Structure 1
């Protein structure tokens, strides 16, 4: 249905996306917050009926809202030629891509060691690109499928930075379109309103961070949803291949292995997980080397032991560490946090009935990912996109609240060197955890969850 309000919202939102994509730099926090707040205000107004959707109002026969799905596609296409302005990760994508395109193994070389060599010159790696890297002293941690996509982009446009950026964005766009298509079908498959997919499709954080700022969570989400769809069609071998591709894009779905094993039963589940593990190993084969596993694990360990950004539980522990020890205890406590994550994931899987409904399973996935991010030392805004998908199949809305509030973490980049504003971080998590606990409490006492 086309109404004056919808047309006005579409024009205003498109203008805001263009301003944020092409006219705002990361240090301009006040402007970033103002424009983001306007976008989320429009999003909340247009998505309000879906926000209040409950099992009592589920209707799988509802037709998809073509106008709003068209808007979701338009907003993404409008960012096609945008150079990422809120994240510099794309510089590493291009660096690794040049290595792959020229036959070098991206897991073998540190950028700081490679620069200035004859190999760097032959691969088209410049000092200008090196200066944009945020982790030049770390081996690449991006899985093999992303490395292939990086290599294709750099190979197609070896001397054209914008061309390579657009080439990186194309698979993300295709994945996002595929995700919307799959969400409609999965929601219908489970007897829900297919327009719920718009809570993800129109979410400003998803559009700006995944399509705009080139984060491959979009591709991972598509493959995981496709695997779920194939699984519902009893095509388990095909689902295993697709899920392996998702993990070969981002490692996050590995967290869901205990739930998968529980769902299938221990014997079949372990066999199925082993099959997927073998497929993942096969995907790493083109990059196989003596140092492959060591270098990846070395960088992952450094990530957990050195990096910290927009954390919640860890920041509380860090504060206590400063009081007791007088220094940052991330190096000592990161292992404990990882152990807590593993124990929590396994506990949730064991407590989930192996014949549970789709909604119960979605709640278990949502709880698993929520605990993971609450216990992580680094939580960038685009990470939260993974929470929105399982939330669509439940009555929980706190991930969408988080997607609006996590923008405050960009206050860190207003100055050089970067300085986090911990009072904003505390405000973000106080609202999200408070809202989430209220929703969980209502579920426990069997009350309908409403915003």
Structure 2
């Protein structure tokens, strides 16, 4: 024990400092105090990267530290997001036998219980005035957490937090195994698991990307193991928690159909017939994969399905593209051009066109990029989801969890940089109201997109920097 303390004394000092910083972040931080927020976060980010650098071969020390940092938040009320109030509201409706997709909180009479009144007040007018946008399995987790929490908001928060911690442990387990299968350094999973961005945004502020990413990681691992039926089921579950993994379904086209390299083979009838049979088999597997994933998603939606549900859910999703604006990158440039040409905010038009551009890009990646291995598939998934966020009208910090996790299994590091810079978006929340700082947003996206482009076109320029070796 004494030898361990002696050999790891600097790491232990970093861990103790990290605990203190996380405690301050969890229990003594107001979102409007941006200077304190970014200072604490910068310190935590340094601590995380330094610990991984020093202890990259000590799996249990890093894993234990990641769990310890998460448990610091166990009794904390989320202080960077109000979404958890809506989670508990939806869970409460389900426990009362009501469909959460058919009403908005503001529709309910003023004779609500004190807890329900607190939930509506806490979620804010924007959430309270719109239909829920959270898919069915996410709703199930809300209901279970609300049940376990009794009639206590904090109790429900603690229950949700346990789901988050368990999900991250699952991502750690399958992520490490996948790295080993891909013959990549296993410690790279800690760029996600020990990253303060993940600990604060997912465990601390209760965003269910953690659960979605657990099922996505498990799905990719099973796909690599050629257990594609279970992989399809798990991908369907992931979509039913957050819709984002729907973006990845088209990319499987080339994974299945171009799985083998048929170049430079002798040209004779027997070989051509064999190639045709292989491609037909792969096409059948692809169709079955899509059918299983789609059926899983459909089954999860069945308890809520109705024409009214479809209308309400579609309207709620459309808001993210045509009404909401936050921490956008390329879209803000487009919006500025729109003001110069039209004299008004063109989000209603841009919000329809930009998703079509993303669909075309994903189609091109699916058809023309040769995703004939799991590693190449993950590369393409990372490129696709990153382009989606670069063009989005709304990019909340926790959205970056997906490209960050995918980057762990690739050579790209721009998402790791993004997980630090995205916290600059919290400068928008001030004591005088909401006002985005476009200079800081410009810094965020210039650096992130700049590194993204260098990594694609001139990767040798970065090989001397840390974490590129």
User: Normalising by structure 2, what TM-score?
Assistant: 0.88
Q: 2:121 aligns with which of 131, 135, 150?
A: 131
Counterpart CA distance in 2 for 1:178 and 1:307 is 33
Deviation at 1:446, TM superposition (A): 10
Q: Is 1:6 aligned to residue 11 of structure 2?
A: yes
- Contact 1:172–1:210 (CA<8 Å) still a contact in 2? yes
Superimposed CA distance per residue, residues 285-328 of structure 1 (whole angstroms, 9 cap, x where no aligned partner) = 12223311111001111221110000011000000111111111
Q: Is 1:38 aligned to residue 43 of structure 2?
A: yes
**Who is 1:71 aligned against?**
65
What's the secondary structure of 2:103's corresponding residue?
A: coil
- Contact 1:314–1:375 (CA<8 Å) still a contact in 2? yes
Cα gap change, 1:246 to 1:193, in 2 (>3 Å): same
Q: 2:88 aligns with which of 85, 94, 97?
A: 94
Deviation at 1:396, TM superposition (A): 1.2
**Who is 2:230 aligned against?**
238
Q: Which moved further from structure 2: 101-110 or 357-366?
A: 357-366
Counterpart CA distance in 1 for 2:212 and 2:120 is 27
**Who is 1:284 aligned against?**
301
Q: Which moved further from structure 2: 15-24 or 124-133?
A: 124-133
Alignment of 1:145-294 (within 5 A): 145-265=137-257, 266-294=283-311
Cα gap change, 1:354 to 1:389, in 2 (>3 Å): same
- Contact 1:261–1:270 (CA<8 Å) still a contact in 2? no
**Who is 2:269 aligned against?**
none
The Cα RMSD (Å) is: 1.9
Equivalent pairs counted in the alignment come to 434
Counterpart CA distance in 2 for 1:404 and 1:384 is 10
- Contact 1:97–1:152 (CA<8 Å) still a contact in 2? yes
Q: Is 1:412 aligned to residue 428 of structure 2?
A: yes
Superimposed CA distance per residue, residues 35-90 of structure 1 (whole angstroms, 9 cap, x where no aligned partner) = 1111112223233479xxxxxxxxxxx96522112111111122111110000000
Deviation at 1:96, TM superposition (A): 0.4
Counterpart CA distance in 2 for 1:351 and 1:11 is 49
Deviation at 1:418, TM superposition (A): 0.8
Deviation at 1:403, TM superposition (A): 0.6
Alignment of 1:403-442 (within 5 A): 403-442=419-458
**Who is 1:339 aligned against?**
356
- Contact 2:100–2:132 (CA<8 Å) still a contact in 1? yes
Q: Which moved further from structure 2: 235-244 or 265-274?
A: 265-274
Alignment of 1:264-413 (within 5 A): 264-265=256-257, 266-355=283-372, 357-413=373-429
Q: 1:22 aligns with which of 24, 27, 38?
A: 27
Cα gap change, 1:115 to 1:305, in 2 (>3 Å): farther
**Who is 2:74 aligned against?**
80
- Contact 2:324–2:394 (CA<8 Å) still a contact in 1? yes
Gapped regions of structure 1 (runs ≥ 5): 51-61
- Contact 1:261–1:268 (CA<8 Å) still a contact in 2? no
User: Normalising by structure 1, what TM-score?
Assistant: 0.92
Counterpart CA distance in 2 for 1:425 and 1:328 is 19
Counterpart CA distance in 1 for 2:463 and 2:42 is 28
Counterpart CA distance in 2 for 1:427 and 1:232 is 37
What's the secondary structure of 1:133's corresponding residue?
A: helix
Q: Which moved further from structure 2: 29-38 or 258-267?
A: 258-267
Counterpart CA distance in 2 for 1:412 and 1:433 is 21
Cα gap change, 1:255 to 1:449, in 2 (>3 Å): farther
